[in-house]
């Protein structure tokens, strides 16, 4: 009986632990000299649970060759792994010569890693020109119109 009480206290204590803050910066590049638009979601991949933690959402259009985002440090939920794995889901029209009007892209591997312990800063730099793997966007971006 005492074992169950101790186990309950341990589980309760672990569930109340907050992660250290993590600052995130993202640079998105479109290599072509065009006006381009994108919707994106930054997320932390959960390897042991079936859902990812979606952290930030952005929508923009620009004629610049890149767009940068810098986020103040935030506390994440994470999973039981010793590191955080970050990725970005893009719905964009950065294609050369109108190959596709809108495309969906995410990196098959995480774009950045950082340890769970201690305050961290994570940087991601992604070129999205002519990149897509369309089945991954839906239903995250259900409306293909910007």
- Mean pLDDT, the chain, rounded, equals 80
Decide if pLDDT at 9 tops 80.
no
Residue 4 belongs to a domain:
no
Residue 145 belongs to a domain:
no
Residue 118 belongs to a domain:
yes
What is the extent of the structural domain holding 31?
A: 20-136
User: How does residue 15 score in pLDDT terms, banded at 50, 70 and 90?
Assistant: very low
Decide if pLDDT at 1 tops 60.
yes
CATH number of the domain encompassing residue 76: 2.60.40
Residue 2 belongs to a domain:
no
Residue 108 belongs to a domain:
yes
User: How does residue 145 score in pLDDT terms, banded at 50, 70 and 90?
Assistant: very low
More confident residue, 10 or 113: 113
Q: Please state, in angstroms and as integers, the Cα–Cα distance from residue 18 to each residue in 45, 70, 71, 111, following that order.
A: 18, 22, 19, 24
Number of separate domains in the chain: 1
Residue 92 belongs to a domain:
yes
Residue 85 CB coordination number (10 Å): 19
Long-range own/partner contacts, residues 115-120 (CB < 8 A, 24 or more apart): 115/82, 115/83, 115/84, 116/19, 116/20, 116/78, 116/81, 116/82, 116/83, 116/84, 117/20, 118/20, 119/20, 119/21, 119/22, 119/23, 119/73, 120/20, 120/21, 120/22, 120/23, 120/84
Decide if pLDDT at 144 tops 60.
no
More confident residue, 48 or 20: 20
Residue 146 belongs to a domain:
no
User: How does residue 124 score in pLDDT terms, banded at 50, 70 and 90?
Assistant: very high
User: How does residue 57 score in pLDDT terms, banded at 50, 70 and 90?
Assistant: very high
């Amino acid at each position: 009986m005492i074992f169950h009480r101790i186990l309950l206290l341990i589980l309760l204590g672990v569930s109340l632990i907050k992660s250290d803050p993590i600052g995130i910066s993202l640079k998105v590049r479109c290599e072509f000299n065009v006006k381009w638009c994108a919707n994106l979601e930054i997320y932390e991949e959960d390897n042991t649970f079936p859902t990812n933690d979606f952290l930030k959402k952005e929508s923009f259009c620009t004629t610049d060759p890149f767009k940068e985002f810098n986020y103040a440090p935030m506390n994440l939920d994470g999973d039981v792994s010793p590191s955080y794995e970050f990725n970005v889901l893009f719905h964009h029209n950065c294609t050369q010569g109108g190959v596709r009007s809108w495309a969906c892209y995410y990196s098959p591997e995480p774009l950045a890693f950082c340890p769970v312990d201690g305050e961290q800063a994570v940087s991601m730099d992604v070129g999205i020109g002519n990149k897509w793997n369309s089945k991954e966007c839906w239903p995250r971006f259900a409306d293909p119109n910007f």
